[in-house]
Structures are given as structure tokens and as C-alpha cells.
Structure 1
């Protein structure tokens, strides 16, 4: 791999780390970048997952002030994310590579649609939330977090969008506090999946390291400055990259 390729991958990691901290769809930047450099889809996915772990951890640390008073919530939903991430990672390894290659374009396009609809969806969900909703969301929300973890361990693009949609539909709390919890849960999902991938499959460590360096920088900057960026601009970048990646997989 050339220095130019490593630099481009690291730059995509910076963008992904920042987007993950604020929106939660950074995989739609790094995954297509690896595909563009000729990585097979499954290798690109596992290397990308391992590389993004430091970024989501840095984003979670950057939101530590918003996490105050949410220890019980993080522990409760963290178990769902841990179990779900493990199941998703095992599904990725057990199912044939052809299945992943066939389903990824659908997942990417679905993630793009979720990114587009996120503001409207969250407003609709909040408007329909009953007064006095369960402070913890009950079993249904825990199961929703579990399902999001399965998706995140298998692929992961827009898992943060899914989490925020779930939280916004049930939990009566400030969105920045919920985003802080989302970052912690995403780090759990990515972390457990990364452990599985490192233990039992091949990782391209050069690509993973480049993404890790970039994502750590991006996650730190995203947590610090991301709230000031126009959400519309972020969504436009994510959607453009996602559509191009889906088209490349479908046509290639």
C-alpha cells in the first residue's frame, strides 16, 4: 500500500470519527474508501470495524460531561449492545461472503434513507411519545438496543442513527445526553466485534491502523466542535458517499 493510499484512508478515518461523534454514520465514509482501493467487502468491513474502535472511544470520552448521572442507563443498555455486537460479528463470520456482498448495498441505502429522514422521524416519534414515558424505556427499548447491536456488529453504518431514533421515541431527555450514551454503546458494539474479528479472522492492519489514527483525531474533534457543524452538510456528504458505494457494489 502506498503512502498516498494510507493518507487517503487516514483522512477518511478523520471524517468518519467526526461524523460518528455527531451523527453516527462514519462507516459510510471509511468502508467505501477501502472498497475503492480494491479491498474485498468482508475484509474491508472487519478492518474498518477494528480501525474505528479508537475513534468511537475518543468520541465517548469527549462527551463525558453529558454522561454524568447516566451510569445506570449505560450499564442497562450496554448489556444489550454487548450481546448484540457479539451476535452480529458471529453472523458476519458464519454467513458466506456472498451473502454479505449481496446485502451490503441494501444496508448502505437503508442507512442513507435513515440519515435523510432522521430529523423528521425523530420529530414524529417525539410527538407520539406518551407523557410520563418509562424513564428506562422498559424491555422494548432494551430489545431495540440489542437489535441495533446485532446490526452494528454485522455492518454498522448508521447504527447511531438507529439508536437515536429509538431513544428519541421513548426517553424524555436532552438529545446531547442521549448522544453521549449512543457513543458509549457504539464503542461497546464496535469493541466486542473487533475482539471477535481479531481472534478468528484476517485483519489488514495497515488499513486498520490508518483508520484508527484518523478516527481518533476525528472523534476528538467531532466531540469538541461537531455540534457547530450544519447537520444538513454532514448528511449530504454521507448520502453522496453511500449512494456511490452502493452503485459500485451493485455494478461491480
Structure 2
């Protein structure tokens, strides 16, 4: 890896950590960057997943105030995230790389669509009247968290947007509190996946280190100042990079 490539991965890690904390889908920054420097798709995916875990931790720490009173909710949903993450990892490790490259194109496209649709989803959630499905969202939220965990264990980009959309529909709570809960569940999914990947997958540890250093700084800054970023610009950048990743995978 050249010094310029190392700088690019470090910068991508910072951007990805900040975006994951504020919006979700930060992997649409880091994963294409790792592809661009020449890592194979599965190696890029697992290295990216492991590297983003420290950024997720700093992001959770930055949302400590919004997590107050959510212990019961998180304890109920955490097993779904863990089981889903393991299932997604097993799929990734047992399916051939050619299958991953095909599926990940669809997942990146889905993630980009979720990023574009997020403002409409947020407006819908803000205007939604009526009762929720209880303090913990009921069975539907548990199953949705399981599905999001499986998605995240296989390919992480966009799982945060899926989660916050589900929680917003099924829970009647402040959106910032839901975002804080989302950060915890995504961190749990990524941590479980990272442990499994570190044990059995092909990992580029230099890439992990650079993404980790960047994502730690990005996660902290995202929790502090991320709400001040122009959302339209941020979404545009994410979608453009996601489209570039799709083109790269198609060419390869």
C-alpha cells in the first residue's frame, strides 16, 4: 500500500466513522476505497467491518445522554443482533466470492436507495401519530432487528438506516434516542462479525488499522458535530461513492 493509498484509507475511515454515527451507511465510503486500492471484495469487506468497530464505540460514547432509560429495550433486541450477525457471517464465509460480488452490487444499490429515501422516511416518522408497539417494539421489531443483523454481518452498509427506520415505525420515541439505540445495535453486529472474521477470514490488518484510526476520530466528531453537516450534500457524496463501487465491481 503506497503512502497516498494509506492516506486515502485513513480519510475514508474518518468519513465512514462520522457517517455511521450520524446517518448509517459509512461503509459506502470505506468499502469502495478498499476496493480502489486493490483489495479483493471479501477481504475488503471483512477488513472494513473490523476497522469500523472502534468508530462505532466512540459514536456510542458520544450518544451516552440519549441512551438513558433504554437498557431494557437494548437487552431485548441485542440477542437478535447477535444471532443475525452470526448468520450473516456464515453466509459470507461459505458462499463463493463470485456470489458475494453479485449480491453486494444489489446491497450497495439498496443502501444508496435507503440513503436517498431517508429524508422522506424521517418526515413520515415525525408525523406518525398513534401508539407504538410497546416500549420494545414487539415481535416485529425483534424480527426486523434479526434481519438487519444478518444484512450487517454479510455486508454492513445501510444496516443503520434499516434499523432506525424500523424503530421509528414501531416505537414512539424521539428520533435522536432511536439513533443512539441504533448505534449500539450496529456496534454489536459489527463486533460479533469482527471477532468471527478475525479468527477465520483473510484480513488485511494494515487496512484494518488505518480504517480503525480514522473511524475512531470520525465517530467522535460525528457524535459532536455531525448534525451540523448539510444532509443533502452528505447523501449526494454517499450515493456517488456507492455508484462508483458498483461500477468497480461490474468492471472487475
Short-chain TM bin = over 0.9
How far 1:129 moved relative to its partner? 5.8
CA distance in 1, matches of 2:145, 2:132: 21
TM-score where L is the length of structure 1: 0.97
Provide structure 2 residue ranges, at least 5 long, that are not aligned to the other structure: none
Are 2:175 and 1:172 aligned? no
Question: How much has 1:121 moved relative to structure 2?
Answer: 2.5
Q: Which runs of 4+ in 1 moved over 4 A?
A: 125-129
How far residue 125 of structure 1 moved from its aligned partner, in angstroms, is 5.1
CA contact (8 A) 1:18 1:221 kept: yes
Superposition CA RMSD, Å: 1.2
Asked if the contact 1:126–1:169 (Cα under 8 Å) also holds between the matched residues in 2, the reply is no
TM-score (norm 2): 0.97
Aligned CA distance change for structure 1 residues 87 and 129 (closer, same or farther; 3 Å): farther
Q: How far did residue 126 of structure 1 move?
A: 5.6
Q: When the two structures are aligned, how many residues end up with a matched partner?
A: 252
2:27: which partner in 1?
27
- Between the aligned partners of 1:36 and 1:94, the Cα distance in structure 2 is 25
Aligned to 2:157: 157
How many angstroms does 1:131 deviate by? 2.7
SS of residue matched to 1:156: coil
State whether residues 129 and 169 of structure 1, in contact with CA within 8 Å, keep that contact through their aligned partners in structure 2.
no
Counterpart of 2:138 in structure 1 is 138
Structure 2 match to 1:54: 54
Counterpart CA distance in 2 for 1:126 and 1:66 is: 17
Structure 1 position 246 matched with structure 2 position 246: yes
Matched, 1:94 2:94: yes
The one-character-per-residue Cα deviations of 1:135-187 (angstroms, maximum 9, x if unpaired) are: 21101110000100000000011111101110111111111111000110010
Q: Which runs of 5+ in 1 are unaligned?
A: none
Which range is displaced more, 117-126 or 96-105? 117-126
